[in-house]
Amino acid sequence: MRAYIENKVAVITGGASGIGLALGEEMLSLGARRVVLADLNEEKLRKESERLDATYPGKVLGVPTDVTNRERVFSMIEKASEFGEGRIDLLLNNAGLGLAKAFDDTTEEDWTFAFNVNFYSALYGIRAVLPIMRSQEGGGHIANTASGIVFSPMPLQSMYSATKAALMALTSSLRSELWDDHIRLSTVIPGTVATPIWDKAGGSPKGAITPQESAQGIIKGLAANERIIIITEEDKSGARNHFLPEYSEGVDAYFLDVARRRKRGEIVI
């Protein structure tokens, strides 16, 4: 992992907390040359960037960024390239929201927002960084954070399921398309992680892994150039089994139970 990260320039969206912040900290500890953290929360971003810069002087840049805004994302990538002296080796499109709402309660505006934050934000980052990665020796690596929900689409989470599934499809398609340009793409399935994404659900579920555990698994997968980086055994099981025809009856029964319980107001993961 150190050999892979050492002397690289990394850009991480959603970098002021949770998995994004843990990724930045892990990469710095492994010898990254520069790490750029992008986040909408300016106060948190400033605090964490200053904290990391005190330990790794001159290696950290925080860039306030609304990732749903194409111009802001392109501007952030430009600043990151300048900070990296013309290089960006790693782009981790990690920003996103865990959206939960019954389909009948969603509006077209809800769906537009969902795709803006969970899909188009990564698309903008990819478009912005490709010219840089194509022009530099060694190419680059882009990782897009999806979710285990792509293997197990959950009831009352149609927006989250659809946006993350679209992101994984985009990433997988581009992986082969850009391979000969020496640009690698990986989809990240980070596991159920104890992050602020669970705050509205009353806290992280039992068995959630830490952001540091997820970050270490992600970096290990990046170093191995894995197509889909799956951190937990639970998500690996979902990837193997959910869409198999022979399991369809059991899968239907399980998710029907989840749907009914959620409709009653229960928090079911």
Residues designated as active site: 160
Alpha carbon 10 to chain centroid, angstroms: 14
3-state helix, strand, coil in the chain (%, to 5): 55, 15, 30
Cα 48 to chain centroid, rounded = 19
Cα 162 from Cα 100, distance rounded (Å): 12
Instruction: Report in angstroms the alpha-carbon separations of 197 from 95, 99, 250.
Output: 11, 9, 29
3-class secondary structure, 186: strand
Q: Which residues contact 135 (CB under 8 A, 6 or more apart)?
A: none
Question: Which of helix, strand or coil describes residue 243?
Answer: coil
What does the angle CA 105 – CA 254 – CA 200 come to, to the nearest 5 degrees? 45
- Cα 17 to the chain's mean position, in Å? 12
Single out the residue of 89, 95, 32 nearest to residue 63, CA to CA: 95
DSSP one-letter code for 210: P
